Amino acid sequence: MPIRLKVWDPSREKPCSKCHEVRPLEEFSKHPGHRDGRQSYCKACGRAMVAARYQRIGSEAYRRYESSERGRLVRDEYAASDARRNSNNRYQRSEHGKLRTRKYLASLRGKLGGKIRRARRRVRLAMAEEFISEEDFQELLARYPQCAYCGAEFDPSKKEPQLDHVVPISKGGSHALSNAVLACRSCNASKGNKIPHEWF
């Protein structure tokens, strides 16, 4: 049997450096730094790498969180507040509840409430950032030269990189280097207040 050599047309396709399949160039993401302007691995392999990286980062932090006393307390508290929320929701869906909500939102107190909540959140964020020293930040940057979740390059014009707590402070995560990663703005925003297992 003759040896079959794979030939391809470099102007239209190339082999992926990960899965070694020859694929059309459109299946490689754009990468201005590379000679052919494309990433060396295909988009499917890129997605698999992101998922694997995410699984590693997320599961390490989650394991620490789950086994900590603080994580257990927060979980118990959440279960209790879920039950409260459910009974609240039933009330808010009732006619009486709807009326109360409308009145509250229209009242001065209701309008102020939103502003106060947002201001408190800003203060919490500012305090959290002050705890990370310049040295810590450099260490993080060395560990995560790109977004820890999607691998995107940081864009300083979008105020990147952004500090992300893998397990949010509000869910019992600690403000420690072991719970911090650097992320792009869009991953940070989309992850929000979720623990990784709820987000991905």
Residue 84 and residue 79: Cα distance in Å, rounded? 9
Q: Name beta bridge partners: 15.
A: 22
Residue 100 CB, shortest distance to Zn ion, in Å, is 41
74 or 183: CB nearest Zn ion? 183
Closest CA to 19 of 44, 52, 1: 44
Helix (H, G, I), strand (E, B) or coil at 127: helix
28 or 65: CB nearest Zn ion: 28
End-to-end CA distance of the chain: 48
Nearest to 62 by CA among 181, 188, 179: 179
- The residues facing 180 across adjacent strands are 165
Least distance from Zn ion to the Cβ atom of residue 86, Å? 34
**Closer residue to Zn ion in complex, CB, 53/75:** 53
CB of 17 to Zn ion, least distance (A): 8
Could you list the residues that contact Zn ion (CB under 5 A)?
16, 18-19, 42, 45, 147, 149-150, 152, 184, 187
Q: Which is nearer to Zn ion, 46 or 172 (CB)?
A: 46
Closest CA to 199 of 160, 159, 171, 163: 171
Give whichever of 19 and 52 is closer to Zn ion, judged by the CB atom: 19
Smallest gap, in angstroms, from Cβ of residue 22 to Zn ion? 10
**Residue 42 C-beta: closest distance to Zn ion, Å:** 3
In whole angstroms, the minimum distance from the beta carbon of 164 to Zn ion comes to 9
DSSP strand pairing (162-165 vs 180-183): antiparallel
Distances in whole angstroms, Cα of residue 14 to Cα of each of 24, 33, 143: 7, 17, 31
Residue number, 42 or 180, with CB nearest to Zn ion: 42
Alpha-carbon span 8 to 15, nearest angstrom: 8
